[in-house]
Amino acid sequence: MKEQDIISKTIQYVKKELKGAEAGHDWWHIERVHQNAKHIAESEKVNMLIVELGALLHDIADAKFHDGDENIGPAKARQFLESHAVDEPIINHVEQIIRHISFKGGNESRRFFSPELAVVQDADRLDAMGAIGIARAFQYGGYKNREIYNPAIKPDLTMSRQAYKKSTSPTINHFYEKLLRLKDMMNTSAGKKMAAQRHTFMQDFLNQFYKEWEGKK
């Protein structure tokens, strides 16, 4: 099967699998990450098939919606790719991207790395920043019935992977626990440039938020 054919088949598969998914992790999130990844990859030496498949399948079964099980996503991706006779090295690489793309609290050492993961990880992180990142944060907070903000609950930047997964802190805390940390965790030159713009937008939002919260503006 030609590479473009497998990409088209993957898009069809992901659209079907994520129909009705939580809005911050639905097909449109995948579409944005896919487009981000293609843009970033233009200035990187990578295998584009792996980049595109990794971007399209990275949230095929997000662990946060499957009782924390991090094996479902890679298994589903493998099953799909095997059914279309994709070469084993490519399948394995896509599995590794799915397993290692997530933030997971930001306090763990890196256990796998490749130029393709770098591109897809940056693409995914960009979608957690800027205007869209803000929208997704509050959408997910509403989905989980979390407080918007509680001055008495301070952000925790030292959470372990398990503590981060179980956190129920207010949505504003998520900016400090993850979103504002992403700029300094980007891998690629293009990703860093895009992240800097989105980071500034989030800082401006927070400044306005606190002024409105305190009735000052």
Side-chain-side CA neighbours of residue 139 (13 Å): 14
pLDDT at residue 105 greater than cutoff 50: no
pLDDT value at position 161? 72
Distance of CA 69 to the CA centre of its chain: 17
- Residues 6+ positions from 167 with CB-CB distance below 8 Å: 156, 159, 177
CATH 3.30.420.40 is held by the domain 3-213: no
Residue whose tokens read 């994709």: 86
pLDDT at residue 67 greater than cutoff 70: no
Q: Name the residue ranges covered by the structural domains of the chain.
A: 3-213
106 pLDDT band, cuts 50/70/90, is very low
pLDDT at residue 66 greater than cutoff 60: no
Please report, as a single letter, which amino acid is at residue 81.
L
pTM, full prediction: 0.90
CA–CA distance, 217 with 211 (Å, rounded to integer): 5
Please give the span between the terminal C-alpha atoms of the chain, in angstroms, as a whole number.
59
pLDDT value at position 46? 97
Cα torsion angle, 50, 52, 58, 61, sign: negative
22 pLDDT band, cuts 50/70/90, is confident
- How far, CA to CA in Å, does 112 sit from each of 22, 36, 130, 131, 144? 28, 21, 27, 30, 31
137-187: pLDDT as tens digits: 999 999 999 999 999 999 998 877 777 777 889 999 999 999 999 999 999
